């Protein structure tokens, strides 16, 4: 069968239209995020994981020309608490379907507000557990054995601290406040140091789980605080845990005790902690989290010799960060396709 000369241009035009339609159908969805590689953005080496599935609109670019992207953006990736998903942002994104947080804690997100716009919220639990538990034990060991002072002496022998004698970790008592996934992994690690493990949690673990890590349940947090040589905070920030550790709780701790916080800064009354450290109510503190972050350079915590502070790096390993970004993508793609979101956080 031969085509007429007149029909050939029409056929070619239809093919072009179909090809263009296929290209448009294959266009990647748009995601709003802080600039990869920036101070508050996802590390640049992991941006390719997102770029494979999404067109990334940097928050800075969106602020300058939001009308160009507002209708296209269907997902927001929150990293280091940014972009700020407030009412103004939500109102400006009519086709937004999901906000995905890099990390477990979502205390910086107004989930009821986001949900009121018909937008789902997800985080990245499970993948952060090992790295965070590792850092908790790192802080405990570094504080107990005065590693920072040891480093300073090795680098400058003239540096003479008040004392560089450390505390014994093996055989000591560790009290874990918050026996969720991360708390349980801390208990697993503590067992390797022959530590006696106490824990306080909203819900008691099963007898089998307790026996596996040799943990004893304290129904009252006061009992845990009185008996522990090291107190490790591994709870989510909520109205119930806001300033959970205050002046009263610190006074219950041993004067030789050390407070380790890997949860959120606001779980501790920071003013009360400063006073307790200054007056010798407790021996030391080791903190991966503070409020605010970073602390003002003139904050009294930065002037104390019995405090070890890190810049919230609990999940900062290559493997964990890659897993977090991959999980963010998985959650977002599920939301955009109308499938169940694996790590959805309900209001």
Q: Which one of 61, 210, 275, 293 is the catalytic residue?
A: 293
Residue 189 bears catalytic tag: no
Q: Tell me how many degrees the CA angle 121-183-221 measures, rounded to the nearest 5.
A: 105
Name the nearest CA neighbour of 182 among 106, 219, 242, 233: 233
**Rounded Cα distance, 213 and 209, in Å:** 7
| Cα torsion 293, 296, 297, 298: sign | negative
**Rounded Cα distance, 343 and 181, in Å:** 15
CB-CB contact of 144 with 171 (8 Å): no
Q: Which one of 200, 264, 283, 327 is the catalytic residue?
A: 264
Residue 293 bears catalytic tag: yes
CB-CB contact of 228 with 198 (8 Å): yes
Residue 242 bears catalytic tag: no
Give me the residues paired with residue 238 across strands: none
Show which residues are catalytic: 264, 293, 312
């Amino acid at each position: 069968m031969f085509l007429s000369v007149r029909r050939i241009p029409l056929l070619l035009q239809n093919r072009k239209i179909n090809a263009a339609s296929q290209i448009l159908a294959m266009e990647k969805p748009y995601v709003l995020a802080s600039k990869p590689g920036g101070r508050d953005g996802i590390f640049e080496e992991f941006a390719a994981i997102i770029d494979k599935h999404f067109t990334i609109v940097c928050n800075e670019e969106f602020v300058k020309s939001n009308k160009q992207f507002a209708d296209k953006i269907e997902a927001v990736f929150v990293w280091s608490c940014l972009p700020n998903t407030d009412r103004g942002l939500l109102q400006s994104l009519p086709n937004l379907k999901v906000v995905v947080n890099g990390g477990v804690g979502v205390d910086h997100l107004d989930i009821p507000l986001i949900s009121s716009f018909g937008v789902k919220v997800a985080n990245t639990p499970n993948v952060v557990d090992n790295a965070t538990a590792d850092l908790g034990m790192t802080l405990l060991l570094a504080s107990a054995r005065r590693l920072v002072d040891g480093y300073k002496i090795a680098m400058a022998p003239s540096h003479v601290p008040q004392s560089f004698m450390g505390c014994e970790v093996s055989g000591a008592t560790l009290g874990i406040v918050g026996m969720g996934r991360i708390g349980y992994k801390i208990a697993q690690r503590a067992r390797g140091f022959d530590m006696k493990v106490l824990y306080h949690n909203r819900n008691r673990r099963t007898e089998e789980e307790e026996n596996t890590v040799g943990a004893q349940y304290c129904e009252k947090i006061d009992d845990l605080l009185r008996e522990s040589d090291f107190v490790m905070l591994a709870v989510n920030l909520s109205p119930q845990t806001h300033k959970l550790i205050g002046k009263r709780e610190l006074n219950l701790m041993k004067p030789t005790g050390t407070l380790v916080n890997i949860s959120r800064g606001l779980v501790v009354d920071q003013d009360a902690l400063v006073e307790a450290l200054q007056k010798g109510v407790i021996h030391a503190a080791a903190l991966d989290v503070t409020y605010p972050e970073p602390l003002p350079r003139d904050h009294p915590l930065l002037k104390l010799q019995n405090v070890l502070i890190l810049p919230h790096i609990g999940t900062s390993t290559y493997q964990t960060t890659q897993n977090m970004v991959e999980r963010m993508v998985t959650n977002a793609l599920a939301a955009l396709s109308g499938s169940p979101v694996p790590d959805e956080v309900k209001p």
